Amino acid sequence: MHGVVLSHLSPGLGPATPAELVDLLQQQLSSWIELDWEAIDPNLGSLTVLHGDSITDGAVEAGGEYVEALLSVDGGFDNGSDWLPSWAWQTAEQVERTFYRGMKSLSAAEYSRARAMVIEVPCGTASELLTQYEERQVSRVDAYEPIARDRLHVSPSGSWFWPCPGCRYPMLLRGGWLRCEYPPHDVYRYSLAPGEGDELPVLAGAAGRDRAEPRRADGVLCLAWGIWRFICCPGLAEVSLMRWLEAKKYFTSGRIVRWENRDAWDIGIYSPDGWQLRVDVKDVADPRRILDRLPAGETIVLPWHRAAQARELAGLLASVTTPDGLPYEVLTDRQFRTKISGLIKKATASR
Ligand SMILES: [Zn+2]
């Protein structure tokens, strides 16, 4: 890795030895790599790669952006991107193999039900998963595997894990901390103190309804990490909006279409009064990445934790249109709900 880093820096710059590199990786990239960070991405400049011996969540997130770049719009896998780090390549390949490949043979309705299951059921015992498959009329998705060791607490009373209160995925236990690695769920971070005797560790900083509760891990399977991070996590905001829309009596049955045309856009909304919207929910760290692959839907919704990007993204999309020529509208989750409620009110009043 030392050689790779040096090959990207001007001669004479950069760490002289691998040991020096390890030290520098504990500091912000902008403090030791001379680049125009404002032009690249200020967030990347303030990134530290290592904290002690562990890779930071920020570094994993930055890597995740490359994984997403490998997954093409139709869920295929772009084998041509062999310049990317092997970690990104392998993770994307795993997502493609265990999720998208199995989806190809499904009808649109089956595809939508299978995708919803992966988002709403991140873990469960084999029999719980079987019940979910039957109730949701989903054919088996090859996305579940045993829980990784670093998410388990093994005690004489058996193995335990803590589902994240935000996404239900087993939280990571490391260095005296229990946490969810999805950055918006960083609020679910608990310091651990050893329990008495055979008891489970005590969680500090866990208050109210968002307290993580331990669950027995025997026989429990959870989503492969890449599926959880790149399908389940961004899907939480999508499913929340879908459920909110579907609960409105105004929309007649079947007029809120989930992941329409095999996810060409996230939600198709067809009102009985003739107006329609195609919604794309965008959960990316750097809004400029959205320009690389323009959304098919004209209504872009940012989840609550990305609301601060609204102005910048609206500016970026002002000079372009959807592939079929419509201007984009960028809304935060809250603005979108207000807009829909307003449209319904107006349509109902004029009848
Ligand atoms: Zn979570």
Residue 227 lies in a domain: no
Q: Measuring CA to CA, how many Å separate 329 from each of 80, 119, 147, 220, 345?
A: 33, 26, 41, 42, 20
Residue 229 lies in a domain: no
Q: Ligand 1 centre and the CA of 202: distance in Å? A: 19
Distance CA 321, CA 144 (A): 39
Q: Ligand 1 centre and the CA of 237: distance in Å? A: 12
Q: Ligand 1 centre and the CA of 185: distance in Å? A: 5
Strand, helix or coil at 128?
helix
Give me the tens of pLDDT residue by residue for the chain, a chain 351 residues long: 777 777 777 777 778 888 888 888 888 988 888 777 777 776 788 888 888 877 787 787 777 766 666 665 455 555 555 555 666 666 767 777 777 777 777 888 888 999 999 999 999 999 999 999 999 999 887 789 999 999 999 888 889 999 999 999 999 998 888 999 888 888 888 888 888 777 888 888 655 567 888 999 999 999 988 889 888 998 999 999 999 999 999 998 779 999 998 888 999 999 999 899 999 999 888 888 888 889 999 999 999 989 999 999 999 999 999 999 999 999 999 999 999 999 999 988 887
Q: Ligand 1 centre and the CA of 232: distance in Å? A: 10
pLDDT at 19: 86
Looking at the structure, do residues 207 and 274 belong to the same domain, yes or no?
A: no
Q: How far apart are the first and last CA of the chain?
A: 67
Looking at the structure, do residues 244 and 212 belong to the same domain, yes or no?
A: no
Cβ pair 178, 187 in contact under 8 A:
no
Looking at the structure, do residues 258 and 327 belong to the same domain, yes or no?
A: yes
Q: Ligand 1 centre and the CA of 224: distance in Å? A: 14
Cβ pair 61, 181 in contact under 8 A:
no
Cβ pair 169, 180 in contact under 8 A:
yes
Distance CA 238, CA 240 (A): 5
pLDDT at 70: 62
Q: Ligand 1 centre and the CA of 167: distance in Å? A: 4
Looking at the structure, do residues 210 and 265 belong to the same domain, yes or no?
A: no
Q: Ligand 1 centre and the CA of 214: distance in Å? A: 14
Domain boundary, last residue among 83, 106, 129 = 106
Q: Ligand 1 centre and the CA of 276: distance in Å? A: 33
Residue 137 lies in a domain: no
Please return the burial class of 22, using the count of CB atoms within 10 Å of its CB with bins 0-12, 13-18 and 19+.
Answer: middle
Cβ pair 238, 231 in contact under 8 A:
no
Looking at the structure, do residues 184 and 258 belong to the same domain, yes or no?
A: no
Q: Measuring CA to CA, how many Å separate 294 from each of 194, 201, 244, 336?
A: 50, 47, 26, 20
Cβ pair 191, 177 in contact under 8 A:
yes
Q: Which residue segment(s) compose the domain that 262 sits in?
A: 237-349
Q: Ligand 1 centre and the CA of 280: distance in Å? A: 22
Closest CA to 277 of 261, 292, 265: 265
Looking at the structure, do residues 191 and 283 belong to the same domain, yes or no?
A: no
Into how many domains does the chain fold? 3
Looking at the structure, do residues 41 and 86 belong to the same domain, yes or no?
A: yes
Query: What is the reported pTM?
Result: 0.79
pLDDT at 73: 47
Looking at the structure, do residues 102 and 41 belong to the same domain, yes or no?
A: yes
Q: Ligand 1 centre and the CA of 283: distance in Å? A: 15
Q: Ligand 1 centre and the CA of 234: distance in Å? A: 11
pLDDT digits (tens, 9 = 90+) for 263-303: 889 999 999 998 999 999 998 888 888 888 899 999 999 99
pLDDT at 185: 87
Distance CA 191, CA 1 (A): 33
Residue 140 lies in a domain: no
Q: Measuring CA to CA, how many Å separate 163 from each of 39, 151, 213, 271?
A: 39, 10, 7, 38
Domain boundary, last residue among 216, 247, 267 = 216
Strand, helix or coil at 192?
strand
Strand, helix or coil at 120?
helix
Looking at the structure, do residues 98 and 29 belong to the same domain, yes or no?
A: yes
Domain boundary, last residue among 106, 137, 171 = 106
